Amino acid sequence: MIFRGSSTRHGCCSNSFLGACKRLKQRKNLIQTTLGELVAALTEEAFLVAEDEAEANKLVANVLNDLFARAEAVPNTWH
């Protein structure tokens, strides 16, 4: 699975996470990963900044929602 996108500020971001959200918003990367690896990595990071499990889960859900909503189609053929 290949995604090209950027992260934005989410409603459930804690204040300590806002700086990271802003930096990610400005950065665009091409990342090749599986959906499971993506969810696991997001969950790990969310638990570092969230106040509780519910906030961490909301953060992961919002990041995934934003990522898929903004993802551009990447062609599967070489140019």
CB pairs under 8 A, 24+ apart, for 24-30? 28/4, 29/4, 30/2, 30/3, 30/4, 30/74
Q: List, for residues 27-76, the tens digit of each pLDDT value.
A: 666 677 899 999 999 999 999 999 999 999 999 999 999 988 877 776 66
Domain residue extents for the chain: 2-70
Judge contact between 68 and 4, C-beta under 8 A: no
Decide: pTM greater than 0.75: no
Residue 55 is predicted with a pLDDT of 96
